[in-house]
Amino acid sequence: MGDFGNVLTAMITPFKPDGSVNYDVAAELAAHLANNGTDTLVMCGTTGESPTLSWDEEYQLFVEVLQSVAGKAKVIAGCGSNSTKEAIAATQKASKIGVHGSLQVVPYYNKPPQAGLEAHFKAIAQACPDLPLLLYNVPGRTGQNLQPETVARLAEVNNIVGIKESTGNIDQASEIRRLTPKEFHIYSGDDYMTLPLLAIGAKGVVSVASHLVGNQLQQMIQAFSAGKIEVASDIHLQLFPLFKALFLTSNPIPVKKALKLQGWEVGSTRPPLCEADLEVSQKLEAVLKELSLI
């Protein structure tokens, strides 16, 4: 249940000049990603600017992208909330239109204890028993860390199939791997951590860089799986400057700038996010040119 492949792209949300969602460009970009290394599209996560999207906008994005990549890639719907009731309602609605899974972020701002986190995710899983759920732990944004022991208990739930691990902490990822069955998939939530986490048994990555280098990331993971460690390491080191450049400021500001430099009409970010400043733009442009991406 819930094999999402190696490379999952945390897709940006394109906007028109008036600030409304550009569904046409979203569908076009999704199809492009599906043809360039992406196994699964993760919609309306952090990179998709979920905090400033309405539920209606998110639902319409799920509909448009599902149609665009039908038969080419899977779609995971970001339906998380810091309200269990809201998360359940959004996940049930998305499930009815045929998404292949749902990303469920650790509830943010209200900082529930581990018992509350466990109950939250189990309630969503119980409400949507046929939909694979991917946990999303990103304490730098949520203010709360989902502890490995809690993850291990959640991994016992049939349709909680994996975790997007975005702590940047290899000790935590190692402990999760030690405590969970191999069928429970660990995905790096940070591009720069993908290769290190593969070494301890991760499945792949929920990537930002795959907007630009999806094929290369797929090659890296496949090389590692085939025992070609030096090849995988060479790809990682070649792409490492890009991994860092895409986080010179708050995600998704840099990746949207990079896509615009490639000619994509993805628009700006929604306030309170803002445009990349001159320093970030220049550094990003230099890395893209070095990698022949523009």
Q: Is 180 annotated as a binding residue?
A: no
- Selected catalytic residue, list 59, 136, 187, 192: 136
Tell me whether residue 136 is one of the annotated catalytic residues: yes
Q: For residue 190, how far is the Cα from the chain centroid?
A: 9
Tell me whether residue 164 is one of the annotated catalytic residues: yes
What pLDDT shows up at residue 68? 98
- DSSP bridge partners of 162: 134, 185
The encoded tokens of residue 8 equal: 């999952």
Q: Is 206 annotated as a binding residue?
A: yes
Please give the DSSP secondary-structure letter assigned to residue 52. G
What pLDDT shows up at residue 216? 98
What pLDDT shows up at residue 1? 74
Strands (E), the chain: 7-10, 40-43, 74-78, 101-105, 133-137, 160-165, 185-188, 204-207
Which superfamily does 7-232 belong to? Aldolase class I (3.20.20.70)
First-residue to last-residue Cα distance in the chain? 39
pLDDT tens for the chain, residues 1 to 294: 789 999 999 999 999 999 999 999 999 999 999 999 999 999 999 999 999 999 999 999 999 999 999 999 999 999 999 999 999 999 999 999 999 999 999 999 999 999 999 999 999 999 999 999 999 999 999 999 999 999 999 999 999 999 999 999 999 999 999 999 999 999 999 999 999 999 999 999 999 999 999 999 999 999 999 999 999 999 999 999 999 999 999 999 999 999 999 999 999 999 999 999 999 999 999 999 999 999
Sign for the CA dihedral angle at 141, 90, 12, 41 comes to positive
Domain residue limits, the chain = 7-232
Of 251, 253, 284, nearest in space to 266 by CA: 253
Contact 160, 131 (CB under 8 A): no
- Selected catalytic residue, list 59, 74, 164, 187: 164
What pLDDT shows up at residue 35? 98
Contact 75, 100 (CB under 8 A): yes
